[in-house]
Amino acid sequence: MLQSLLEEATDIMLKLQEEHKKKLAEYRFSTPPSETLETIANPSILKLTEESDKAGMYLLGPFFTNAN
């Protein structure tokens, strides 16, 4: 039983490896669409660049502190 599960898992990993190699070759010289900043970061955070939007933000406290 365990032997067959290991063989099945190995077969699946080999298939995934082949798919990965095909995709690498496919995208080697083409650039896939890159993500925009809006899809990565919350747009409401981006809006805080305006002075009026930043007013009072210090009251919320630090979200990030530099360890340096």
**Structure pTM?**
0.41
Task: Give the pLDDT confidence of 29-38 residue by residue, as tens digits.
Answer: 777 667 776 6
18-63 pLDDT, tens digit per residue, is 999 998 888 877 776 677 766 776 666 555 555 555 666 667 666 6
Say how many Å lie between the first and final Cα of the chain, rounded. 54
Output the pLDDT for position 15: 96
Q: Can you give the pLDDT at residue 26?
A: 83
DSSP sequence for 20-67: HHHHHHHHSSS-PPPPPHHHHS-HHHHGGGSHHHHTTGGGG--S----
SS3 68: coil
| Domain-wise residue ranges, the chain | 2-60
DSSP 1: -
